[in-house]
Amino acid sequence: GKGEKGEYIEVDENEKLPNSEQRKWEQEQIKSAFFKFGAKDAKAQDEYELLLDEQIDFIQALQLEGNQEKKDEEKISEYKKARLTIEETKKSLPVFPFRDSLIEAIKNYQILIVEGETGSGKTTQIPQYLHEAGFTDDGKKIGCTQPRRVAAMSVAARVAQEMNVKLGNEVGYSIRFEDCTSDRTVIKYMTDGTLHREFLSEPDLASYSVMIIDEAHERTLHTDILFGLVKDITRFRPDLKLLISSATLDAEKFSTFFDDAPIFRIPGRRFPVHIYYTKAPEADYIDACVVTVLQIHATQPLGDILVFLTGQEEIETCVEMLQERTKKIGKKLKELIILPVYANLPTDMQAKIFEPTPEGARKVVLATNIAETSLTIDNIIYVIDPGFAKQNNFNSKTGMESLMVVPISKASANQRAGRAGRVAAGKCFRLYTAWAYKHELEDNTVPEIQRINLGNAVLTLKALGINDLIHFDFLDPPPHETLVLALEQLYALGALNHHGELTKAGRRMAEFPTDPMLAKMLLASEKYKCSEEIVSIAAMLSVNSSVFYRPKDKIIHADTARKNFFHRHGDHLTIMNVYNQWADSDYSVQWCYENFIQYRSMKRARDVREQLVGLMERVEIDMVSSISDDTNIRKAITAGYFYHIAKFSKGGHYKTVKHNQTVMIHPNSALFEELPRWVIYHELVFTSKEFMRQVTEIESKWLLEVAPHYYKSKELEDSTNKKMPKTIGKSANNF
Ligand code: CDP
Ligand code: MG
């Protein structure tokens, strides 16, 4: 029955099953759509039939084109013959012929929009050109923002290599919790979030001569806010050059926003990409990916394959499946080198993606949409696109944020396909129907600012002294209610007073490069005298991937090991146990291995923890321990996350207190079988249902202690006909 445990035990596969739910849903949508249009829409029918031409079986498609294949093969081998040196590679990039005219344009205009196809050399070359042209001679730096951590790190590494310097010296990068720069750094890559925070310590960006807002088309929240901030700066820093660089056709929009700044277009080189669709929706796209990779490998001329998946878990599954099947096939086929790419990929693995494929072998890269525009991998001829991406979505009505897998936009699909045409004519296999492409996919991805929680951004802006957010210069403004909700949340957290001004607590919270709730939890550890424990918990929460290692062939052992860490009050204390025991083992690798813990994640947690301890010192919180009193620790967590409270209700599931949404405890939780009455959760993940991840038991009366302005004792009673409370009555105009 609904809500009984038996129903969701099977969902233990974490993020895997959910996708199949999603796919089932897509399939149904498509089926019902077919029905609808069959009779009525003759024009759509015609268009559909045009597209239908390309919907042939992949195998058929792969065999049909014998002659064309030969030509392609020649092209590829020509390309491969030319193993270029670094100097030659630099000269071969589309941006190279425009070096001088680009520098000229930058000298003539303060703001320039640069548009060029992905892979044309914008990110790696332009900062070097500027450096060579003397833009760093006055001791100032060239900054370049990237929406993604991995991109910032790997591009910096590449540029350091091209300039033959040590990474972290002349060329460095800075990302959250990790600064790899020095006094000598003149070219600095950083995430957009990092630059956003740099404004706090250097509001006029005085140490930069040029700032490049790169990958502007990605329209992440931080990039969007940076647009407004840097535009403002250029008015009182006439010597600062500003470049907005973008891959696609948003250039006009950026130009209009930046007072009609000129657009510098780098003509792209692109070979044709033939697009294939499936005849029918794929029931299991992971499996379809694996099959398609193997078909390409068996029948197609050499050339590397790029597969787009939604996240680390999916990528790891796909890697395992490919390894298994290629092992079975054995030496009958050429070598297939399987490489994953995702946000938390360890540094040594990152370098591997860019190594040239050995003669006679083929590389298959399994990536998240990081490879859509942020990273260019050379020699890709085949792209496999299942049509999904993971997205953070925020419901401003309920204030609930959750991570879910959603269909990509047409713009994304076309970017993905374009990756196949950089070095020769390519092929893109879309694991969805032509009909779905045409009718199901939105034209463009909605910018993040219009679909995620703005709490963090609003807090930083307030800390920058920007009080009037309604009139902030947004490229596209966020929805009014999202902004209001962010202000209300910050008010409830005590970061803003009722005039919407930053409080002392708010100023301290802004010191932390984290979500305001996490910052509040860290501050609350002062009162509850458990800063040592809370900092460990915060560090573990900041390592987004699970620290528990669960290899397929040792699931039982791994689960037993995991259960040994379980704390009876829940997951926050469980991960704290993991951290403390690891610290007791003197941070041993062997210990991780024996306990099925991911060493790399732990190492990162340790780095994050160190940074957090430094920040605690800055806000003058002493490090003290309250290990024997877990009530204090849980109260401190509650002080930060009192928005995330759910109460056990009839039918075996939970309801969120404020909005009465049905949520479940994630099967991996220590409390999965306990089902305490009141719980606090760290995040919601929507897969087949809304799952709470990182769940801890609390007592409802604590809510009155830590958030008396938010909870009334009435709503914490067990009466069944409780009334929905009013939200805090502040209109945004007061802020
Ligand atoms: O920014 P844009 O997309 O225009 O191009 P880019 O990232 O500067 O890439 C230019 C070239 O550098 C491509 O051929 C990449 O494959 C190469 N590259 C690399 O080899 N290693 C990296 N870590 C980054 C880029
Ligand atoms: Mg780039």
Over residues 495-540, the pLDDT tens digits come to 999 999 999 999 999 999 898 999 999 999 999 999 999 999 999 9
Give 719 or 393, the one with higher predicted confidence: 393
CB 549 within 8 Å of CB 597:
yes
- Across the chain, mean pLDDT equals 84
**Choice from 129, 376, 422 to test ligand 1 binding pocket (greatest atom count within 8 A of CB):** 376
- Could you tell me the pLDDT band of residue 723, with boundaries at 50, 70 and 90? very low
pLDDT for residue 247 is more than 90: no
Whose CA is closest to atom 17 on ligand 1? 376
Predicted confidence at residue 397, as pLDDT, reads 67
Q: How far is the CA of 123 from the centre of ligand 2 (A)?
A: 4
Predicted confidence at residue 20, as pLDDT, reads 47
CA of 120, closest atom in ligand 1: 4
CB 696 within 8 Å of CB 641:
no
Predicted confidence at residue 660, as pLDDT, reads 87
Q: Which long-range contacts (CB under 8 A, 24 or more apart) does 464-472 make?
A: 464/199, 464/200, 464/203, 464/229, 467/500, 467/501, 467/735, 469/732, 469/735, 470/732, 470/733, 470/735, 472/228
* Residue from 323, 341, 288, 417 nearest 296 by CA: 288
CA of 116, closest atom in ligand 1: 4
Give 209 or 342, the one with higher predicted confidence: 209
Pure H helices in 180-267: 192-201, 221-236, 251-257
Predicted confidence at residue 351, as pLDDT, reads 79
Predicted confidence at residue 398, as pLDDT, reads 64
Question: In the chain, what are the helix, strand and coil shares in percent, each to the nearest 5?
Answer: 50, 15, 35
Residues with CB under 5 A from ligand 2 (ion): 123
pTM confidence score: 0.81
Rg (CA), the chain: 26
pLDDT in tens, 601-626: 899 899 999 999 999 999 999 999 99
Whose CA is closest to atom 21 on ligand 1? 158
* Range of weakest confidence among 23-37, 186-200, 300-314: 23-37
- Could you tell me the pLDDT band of residue 399, with boundaries at 50, 70 and 90? low
* Angle at CA of residue 389, ends 387 and 394, nearest 5°: 135
* Angle at CA of residue 527, ends 521 and 529, nearest 5°: 90
Predicted confidence at residue 13, as pLDDT, reads 27
What whole-number distance in Å separates Cα of residue 533 and Cα of residue 631? 12
At residue 401, φ and ψ (nearest 5 deg) are: -115, 135
Predicted confidence at residue 545, as pLDDT, reads 66
Q: Enter the DSSP assignment of 728.
A: P
What whole-number distance in Å separates Cα of residue 372 and Cα of residue 424? 18
- Could you tell me the pLDDT band of residue 364, with boundaries at 50, 70 and 90? very high
Percent of the chain residues topping a pLDDT of 70 = 85
Whose CA is closest to atom 13 on ligand 1? 119
* Range of weakest confidence among 358-372, 536-550, 692-706: 536-550
Q: Which residues of 521-552 are buried (b: 16+ CB within 10 A; e: fewer)?
A: bbbbbbebbbbbbbbbbbbbbbbeebbbbbee
**Choice from 158, 161, 345, 375 to test ligand 1 binding pocket (greatest atom count within 8 A of CB):** 158
pLDDT for residue 2 is more than 70: no
pLDDT for residue 212 is more than 70: yes
518 Cβ neighbours under 8 A, 6+ residues apart: 512, 538, 541, 542, 640
Neighbours of 719 (CB within 10 A): 8
* Angle at CA of residue 32, ends 30 and 7, nearest 5°: 80
Residue range 21-32: mean pLDDT, rounded: 41
What whole-number distance in Å separates Cα of residue 363 and Cα of residue 507? 49
pLDDT for residue 394 is more than 60: yes
Question: Tokens representing 122?
Answer: 């914008």
Whose CA is closest to atom 6 on ligand 1? 121
Pure H helices in 93-216: 99-108, 122-132, 149-162, 192-201
Most confident of 188-192, 277-281, 398-402, 706-710: 188-192
Question: Tokens representing 585?
Answer: 């083992």
Q: How far is the CA of 73 from the centre of ligand 1 (A)?
A: 24
What whole-number distance in Å separates Cα of residue 20 and Cα of residue 22? 5
What whole-number distance in Å separates Cα of residue 406 and Cα of residue 412? 12
DSSP string for 519-587:
HHHHHHHHHTT-HHHHHHHHHHHHS-S-SB---GGGHHHHHHHHHHH--TTBHHHHHHHHHHHHHHTTS
Predicted confidence at residue 83, as pLDDT, reads 54
pLDDT for residue 234 is more than 90: yes
* Residue from 480, 614, 487 nearest 539 by CA: 614
Q: Enter the DSSP assignment of 226.
A: H
Q: Which long-range contacts (CB under 8 A, 24 or more apart) does 572-577 make?
A: 572/537, 572/541, 572/633, 572/634, 572/637, 572/682, 572/694, 572/696, 573/537, 573/630, 573/633, 573/634, 573/696, 574/670, 575/537, 575/540, 575/541, 575/547, 575/694, 576/533, 576/536, 576/537, 576/540, 576/633
Q: Which-ligand-closest: CA of 217?
A: 2
In sequence order, the β-bridge partners of residue 627 are none
pLDDT in tens, 96-115: 999 999 999 999 999 999 99
CA of 215, closest atom in ligand 1: 1
- Could you tell me the pLDDT band of residue 544, with boundaries at 50, 70 and 90? low
Most confident of 52-66, 141-155, 384-398, 648-662: 141-155
Q: How far is the CA of 119 from the centre of ligand 2 (A)?
A: 7
Ligand 1, residues at Cβ distance < 6 Å: 93, 116, 118-125, 154-155, 157-158, 354, 376, 378
CB 425 within 8 Å of CB 274:
yes
- Could you tell me the pLDDT band of residue 347, with boundaries at 50, 70 and 90? confident
Q: For the chain, first and last CA: distance in Å? A: 48
**Choice from 87, 123, 124 to test ligand 1 binding pocket (greatest atom count within 8 A of CB):** 124
Checking ipTM against 0.95, whether it exceeds it is yes
In order of 103, 138, 161, 596, the CA distances from 134 in angstroms are 10, 8, 20, 52
Position 347, amino acid:
T
In order of 45, 284, 342, the CA distances from 439 in angstroms are 12, 21, 29
Residue range 139-165: mean pLDDT, rounded: 94
- Could you tell me the pLDDT band of residue 47, with boundaries at 50, 70 and 90? very low
Question: Tokens representing 718?
Answer: 């067990």
* Residue from 476, 357, 372 nearest 417 by CA: 372
What whole-number distance in Å separates Cα of residue 640 and Cα of residue 681? 11
Residue range 315-329: mean pLDDT, rounded: 91
pLDDT for residue 30 is more than 90: no
Predicted confidence at residue 330, as pLDDT, reads 79
Percent of the chain residues topping a pLDDT of 90 = 61
Q: Which-ligand-closest: CA of 355?
A: 1
Give 686 or 70, the one with higher predicted confidence: 686
Predicted confidence at residue 46, as pLDDT, reads 33
What whole-number distance in Å separates Cα of residue 663 and Cα of residue 103? 55
Neighbours of 315 (CB within 10 A): 23
